[in-house]
Structure 1
Amino acid sequence: MEGILEDLLENDLSCAPHVVARIVAEVTADRSSVREVAARLDPAQRAGLRPLPMPLPMVGGIDALYSGLDVDPRDHDLLVAISLRLDDRLDPLLDFDGRTAADIAAGPIGPLIHMHAGRVQLSDPRLAIWLRATTSTTSAARVHRRLHRVFHRRGERVDADWHRARASTGLDPTTANELTRIAREHSEAGLSERAFHLAAEAAAHTVGTDRDEATLVAGVAAIAAGYAVEAARRLAGLFPGGEERYRLQGLGGLFVAQAHLRGAVPEVDLDALRPRGDDPEHWYSWARAAAFAAVLCAERGDRLGMRSWLEALREGTARTGAEHELRDPVVALAWLVLGDHDVDDVRGAGPLTGGMLQALHAAIDGDVDHGLRILAVGDSGIGVEVDPFVAGFEASPLVGAYRAVVEVLLLMWRGDMGAARDRMIRASLELPVAIPFAGLGVVIARRLDLAVLGRLGPFARSLTAALPAPVRIDQLVDRGIEAFLDGASEEAASCMRVWRDRGAPQTTLSVPGLEEAIVVTEPALRHRHRIEPPEIALAQQLRLRITGCSDEDWRMERDRVVAETRTLTSPFSRGRVEAMIGTRSLIRGDVELGREHLATAVKLLELSGADAWARAVEVRLRRLGTQERPTVVVGDPLASCRRVWRSVLTAREFDVAMLVVEGASNRDIADSLHVSVRTVEVHLGRVFAKLEVRTRVELTVLAHRIGQYV
């Protein structure tokens, strides 16, 4: 799959991984065929924001496979019927054809189909594409009519109505209501795409209120599958003239779709959208829409918008008596996502306000394993509960994507970077993981690729390309990490300085950054709201203490930092801190101690699966093993020294120190800085005290040692 994704990226045809998985399932994994199909899709389809066409487009490679196929009309109709039916049961197809399974298997088309355990499929999924592309509309309608009669005789109304609708060339209202009803059932069962197609077919065959209902079901099924463009188009069609109850039921789904496409929850006139009467059902739908809007605002850091929608939620639930089941857990979820550590541990029910919220609470209380167990129980199907927040969509792909992103996040917090990346890849092949938490899944996928590979792989790049343009994820930290792991520490520091100057944008749900490259000491940045387990916060504090304290303070702090580092259970967090302790020890000339900490870091980082971080630390260890040979520093040998000393010296002390390292005398420095020699001597004395050196020679050696090891 990686090779296919890479090929599509190279040909400017990037697709979301779950879209590629679908194409591969229907076309096989031949790269040229997948590329041909992708070229026939529009950008929204490639990004997973619109459904793929049914069937997939005919391309040259598929046509070449079957252009010589010559079968009699009876066999051809049977093959077409297999490609058109809603499921793969064998009995209805035998009723359609009139022959036994043995007779069909022994006939000319036997090699083209696979029959087993009462099921029948085409042996090659590409044949379905060829059949439906080369069969005339008239012939396809005739087969649909025959299938309608078969299912009607069998008393299977859904299939009968589906094929009757597909055979019709005009409106056929008699089929619409049943298709809409079954679409709702399919949606609740998690079959969002099939629900969408059934409801869309129903909407095409009716008018008025029935059309509004079918449009609603099609729209909410679309967003449940991750089809934000399709959902926005369908649900927007209910405004302003649609039936009020259907407008209100579709409002939450419309908010989800538009927030993903626009990067923000749309600003709307709440008074214009509120229910006009006192119908409790309408007010409950309004409350659910407000709940969606509040959580979406929280995901995007919009505190003012979140508060406004929470007020609307309180109004709606007060009118319906749903304060406990809907309001309280949604309020808790919204505040938690926004970054409030002090929210009440309110537990709702079902996959999001129940399991996901409880798992996050367990993790930030320090028990990540408990959080993962909570998610595992929910995914097992044991004790499945209705979640009032997403009622009817508990099994949908979108809800599954939220839970998968949280599971990967918890694995990262536990320090299992390799396992987290594997889980993210599996999830991205099945679910729309780019939508939850304002694109957090994409940020996580990128950081995991960097930790494991040292570069962005095709999965992360494909997910990034699938994001709508207005969705912003900050990529400066990613560039900094990649440069740092590649040994370009000054480039990494430059990226992080720009990131800091831009306000240090970061997700509220904590993902690994690059604290090694720059000291962020501003209180506003240090105390930004972050949701993370206590030991992730401890590791961050330790990194700040290692990089931010002076050499004099480090002499007193080192033993305490080492002792606290040993309490970290995450191999990734501890490995990074051990590497920083080792580097600081090397800079001070304690080579054996530095070697010990670096070796520990390598083992821990390898254990976590963060292979790229482990390789970066191994480079330093190998350098220690060849110290008898001079280390050649490419570029500015003092670049790293400048970066480190700027964090512990004043601007004037820094200028004096660097001029000393460059060989200038006190008189030369005084003339250069337009100060007295006595002032230079005072500044130099402070530099010696802070960096714990006694002579100009020791200062120069220290500067070059920093360049060698940092």
Structure 2
Amino acid sequence: MPPRTSSVARARPVAPQVVRRVSALVGGDREALAQTLGQLTPHQLAGSAVLPDPLPVTPAVREAVRDGSSGTLDDEARRVLLAAGVLVVDRVDVLLGATGVPVERLLAPPVAQHLELVDGRFRVVDPRVRAVVHEDADLAGRTTVHAALAAELDRAGEADAARWHAALATLAGDPGLADGLVGLAERRLEEGSAVAAHAVAREAASHGTGDVRARAFLVAGRAALLAGYLHTAAGWFDRATSTGATGVQGAAARAGEVVRALSGVEAGAPTPDDAPPGRRLARLVVPVVRTAVSSADRAALVAVVDALARLDLRPRDADAVLARAVVTAVPHSEQAVWPTGRAGLTPLAEAHLRVVQALVLLRGGDAAQAARVLDDAAGRLPVTHVAGGLAAEVARCVDGSGSLAASLRAAGPGPAAPARAVCRDHGGARSPETPSLMVSAVRRCRGPDDRPGGDVWARWAGVLTARELDVARLVADGLANKQVADRLCVSVRTVEVHLGRVFRKVGVSSRGELTVVAHRRAS
């Protein structure tokens, strides 16, 4: 269940994913949460504008860090933690080379209290320490650290990361860096890493001129849109349309129309009044499909449109179409600011997939599972603007307290008529002839006769440790490694190790395959 807002924060609408994200970054402290939310803009609270990184340091956060004894950090320790906090790759050798300290310095107090080292990788344990150290450093100190990191990354063969840190070390701007940064942002977006792409494109815009700057505006807008930051995206598209750059203006104008449609300003393509509500919702998603850049996003969104179009007249087909997309999708990960592998779906694409997954489950009679899917999605994804406020309507049907539905309605546009209609008659118990979402996935991916006997979890309990079983269950429920780590209070690296052991022990080779097998049952 996403954390609820405190009384201080209720004065303005706050999206559930913002509450959960900020809460995680301030250590779950309610006073720090309230103080931090109080410093955010209305658009940031609603999840439509990018959050500051790091978050502003409030008195409650500073007090918590002081209680954690980081107030005793000497200048060298602060420099090491500043470098660790801004470095976009987690390589210990790069951190050591850039700071000039021996590895023993990282293994001894006070630095060892704040850095976790595993297999040549590191992470800052407490994001509050990262925020405080960053705020306490002056501009000269930050730029010096970025310059040292850029030089070391260049020596280590990390050209993209070196370019990023070189840009942050350049106060006056360097047009020579801009084109490479725009290209990097475009590649990140093609990989599905919308948040990273936006950060890179934003930096490119501050360095570029002419057509390169116009491209940076456009890429930043697309990345912000696919990350779910509609207000931020609208600002970039407005800037792009005013540049006069050939090819950029038209693309920005079309993307701006999608932002307005998602925000409820425009209703999207007209549909006949007598069209089934599912088909009308599908038409609202079609413009989003056209904004997809990565192949993974496009496949997931096409499946969403297809499932919605089939939902009213052929619900079993809708179930099967969406099931395949659900079990093959790689969830969006908040973990990697600088991803180096397959990043998964962008937040906007996964938000559409999860909300419609919850709808299909609801319509199939599985309201409890629909609630679990929607609750998880609302806590980490921009679900408020999906398909004319569909998330709020599904939440109204499955959320007993009504608080989730209320927060989604407050943070997003009012539900459109087809969203209300498609949830009005959400059905009763599922009939035996109608397969569940995951049973459909098994039949589509493995065939109806390829089923083991008994309960798979009971069998796996005999070969997996208790912690491996916990990890397998959470991954099978669609959680990314960072989310699993947060749930189990362990590091991401620990989750990766457990997951590798799970794969070997149960004989699967991917998260999708694990999910399919985990949800199979004997007939």
| Fold shared, TM-score > 0.5 on shorter chain | yes
Rounded to whole Å, the distance in 2 between the matches of 1:382 and 1:230 is: 26
Taking a change above 3 Å as real, the CA distance of residues 415 and 383 of structure 1, as seen in their structure-2 partners, is: closer
- Say if 2:147 is the partner of 1:145: yes
Taking a change above 3 Å as real, the CA distance of residues 95 and 381 of structure 1, as seen in their structure-2 partners, is: farther
Using the TM superposition, give the Cα deviation of residue 431 of structure 1 relative to its aligned residue in structure 2, in angstroms.
Answer: 1.2
Aligned partner (choices 281, 284, 297) of residue 269 of structure 2: 297
Number of equivalences: 409
Larger Rg, first or second structure (1 or 2)? 1
- The higher relative CO (CA closer than 8 Å, separation ≥ 6) is in 2
Alignment match, 1:43: 42
Gaps of 5+ in 2: 286-296, 332-341, 436-523
Alignment match, 1:65: 64
- Say if 2:190 is the partner of 1:188: yes
- Say if 2:164 is the partner of 1:162: yes
For the 8 Å contact 2:175–2:208, the answer to whether it is kept is yes
Using the TM superposition, give the Cα deviation of residue 73 of structure 1 relative to its aligned residue in structure 2, in angstroms.
Answer: 2.5
Give RMSD over aligned pairs: 3.3
For the 8 Å contact 1:5–1:14, the answer to whether it is kept is no
Deviations 1:573-611 (A, max 9, x none): xxxxxxxxxxxxxxxxxxxxxxxxxxxxxxxxxxxxxxx
Alignment match, 1:473: 415
Using the TM superposition, give the Cα deviation of residue 566 of structure 1 relative to its aligned residue in structure 2, in angstroms.
Answer: 11
Aligned partner (choices 399, 402, 409) of residue 456 of structure 1: 402
Rounded to whole Å, the distance in 1 between the matches of 2:308 and 2:262 is: 23
Alignment match, 1:507: 419
Using the TM superposition, give the Cα deviation of residue 375 of structure 1 relative to its aligned residue in structure 2, in angstroms.
Answer: 2.4
Rounded to whole Å, the distance in 2 between the matches of 1:57 and 1:159 is: 25
For the 8 Å contact 2:390–2:420, the answer to whether it is kept is no
TM-score by length of 1: 0.53
DSSP 3-state at the match of 1:244? coil
For the 8 Å contact 2:84–2:124, the answer to whether it is kept is yes
Alignment match, 2:381: 431
Rounded to whole Å, the distance in 1 between the matches of 2:118 and 2:215 is: 39
Alignment match, 2:350: 400
DSSP 3-state at the match of 1:371? helix
State how 1:426-575 maps to structure 2 within 5 Å: 426-449=376-399, 453=400, 455-457=401-403, 459-467=404-412, 471-473=413-415, 507=419, 510-512=422-424
Taking a change above 3 Å as real, the CA distance of residues 117 and 17 of structure 1, as seen in their structure-2 partners, is: farther
DSSP 3-state at the match of 1:437? coil
Gaps of 5+ in 1: 266-295, 307-331, 340-348, 385-391, 475-504, 514-531, 540-564, 572-710
For the 8 Å contact 1:235–1:251, the answer to whether it is kept is yes
Taking a change above 3 Å as real, the CA distance of residues 261 and 97 of structure 1, as seen in their structure-2 partners, is: same
Using the TM superposition, give the Cα deviation of residue 382 of structure 1 relative to its aligned residue in structure 2, in angstroms.
Answer: 7.3
Rounded to whole Å, the distance in 2 between the matches of 1:374 and 1:397 is: 21
- Say if 2:28 is the partner of 1:116: no
Alignment match, 1:16: 15
Please tell me the residue identity of whatever aligns with 1:439.
G
Using the TM superposition, give the Cα deviation of residue 221 of structure 1 relative to its aligned residue in structure 2, in angstroms.
Answer: 0.3
Deviations 1:468-515 (A, max 9, x none): xxx3337xxxxxxxxxxxxxxxxxxxxxxxxxxxxxx553761036xx
Alignment match, 1:203: 205
Identity %: 26
Rounded to whole Å, the distance in 2 between the matches of 1:16 and 1:96 is: 39
Using the TM superposition, give the Cα deviation of residue 107 of structure 1 relative to its aligned residue in structure 2, in angstroms.
Answer: 4.2
DSSP 3-state at the match of 1:162? helix
Deviations 1:648-697 (A, max 9, x none): xxxxxxxxxxxxxxxxxxxxxxxxxxxxxxxxxxxxxxxxxxxxxxxxxx
For the 8 Å contact 2:89–2:161, the answer to whether it is kept is no
Taking a change above 3 Å as real, the CA distance of residues 420 and 383 of structure 1, as seen in their structure-2 partners, is: closer
Rounded to whole Å, the distance in 2 between the matches of 1:23 and 1:145 is: 29
Using the TM superposition, give the Cα deviation of residue 220 of structure 1 relative to its aligned residue in structure 2, in angstroms.
Answer: 0.5
Alignment match, 1:371: 318
DSSP 3-state at the match of 2:396? helix
State how 1:57-456 maps to structure 2 within 5 Å: 57-67=56-66, 69-264=71-266, 296-298=268-270, 337=283, 350-352=298-300, 354-368=302-316, 370-381=317-328, 395-449=345-399, 453=400, 455-456=401-402
Alignment match, 2:451: none
Taking a change above 3 Å as real, the CA distance of residues 87 and 302 of structure 1, as seen in their structure-2 partners, is: farther
Rounded to whole Å, the distance in 1 between the matches of 2:49 and 2:410 is: 15
Rounded to whole Å, the distance in 2 between the matches of 1:38 and 1:93 is: 32
Rounded to whole Å, the distance in 2 between the matches of 1:201 and 1:510 is: 43
DSSP 3-state at the match of 1:114? strand
Taking a change above 3 Å as real, the CA distance of residues 74 and 177 of structure 1, as seen in their structure-2 partners, is: same
Alignment match, 1:33: 32
- Larger proportion of helix: 1
Deviations 1:382-415 (A, max 9, x none): 799xxxxxxx998221111111121111111101
Using the TM superposition, give the Cα deviation of residue 17 of structure 1 relative to its aligned residue in structure 2, in angstroms.
Answer: 1.3
Alignment match, 1:580: none
Rounded to whole Å, the distance in 1 between the matches of 2:241 and 2:217 is: 11
For the 8 Å contact 1:219–1:235, the answer to whether it is kept is yes
Taking a change above 3 Å as real, the CA distance of residues 443 and 334 of structure 1, as seen in their structure-2 partners, is: closer
Taking a change above 3 Å as real, the CA distance of residues 353 and 473 of structure 1, as seen in their structure-2 partners, is: closer
Using the TM superposition, give the Cα deviation of residue 223 of structure 1 relative to its aligned residue in structure 2, in angstroms.
Answer: 0.5
Please tell me the residue identity of whatever aligns with 2:304.
M
DSSP 3-state at the match of 2:383? coil
Taking a change above 3 Å as real, the CA distance of residues 447 and 206 of structure 1, as seen in their structure-2 partners, is: same
DSSP 3-state at the match of 1:115? strand
Rounded to whole Å, the distance in 2 between the matches of 1:424 and 1:447 is: 11
Deviations 1:286-324 (A, max 9, x none): xxxxxxxxxx334xx688xx9xxxxxxxxxxxxxxxxxx
Please tell me the residue identity of whatever aligns with 1:356.
V
Please tell me the residue identity of whatever aligns with 2:77.
D
Using the TM superposition, give the Cα deviation of residue 5 of structure 1 relative to its aligned residue in structure 2, in angstroms.
Answer: 1.4
Using the TM superposition, give the Cα deviation of residue 46 of structure 1 relative to its aligned residue in structure 2, in angstroms.
Answer: 0.6
Using the TM superposition, give the Cα deviation of residue 81 of structure 1 relative to its aligned residue in structure 2, in angstroms.
Answer: 0.3
Using the TM superposition, give the Cα deviation of residue 9 of structure 1 relative to its aligned residue in structure 2, in angstroms.
Answer: 7.3
Deviations 1:85-128 (A, max 9, x none): 11323221122233443442124311121111222112211001
Deviations 1:412-446 (A, max 9, x none): 11011111111101111121111121211122212
Deviations 1:623-655 (A, max 9, x none): xxxxxxxxxxxxxxxxxxxxxxxxxxxxxxxxx
For the 8 Å contact 2:116–2:125, the answer to whether it is kept is yes
Using the TM superposition, give the Cα deviation of residue 36 of structure 1 relative to its aligned residue in structure 2, in angstroms.
Answer: 1.0
Alignment match, 2:54: 55
Taking a change above 3 Å as real, the CA distance of residues 136 and 70 of structure 1, as seen in their structure-2 partners, is: same
Taking a change above 3 Å as real, the CA distance of residues 402 and 62 of structure 1, as seen in their structure-2 partners, is: same
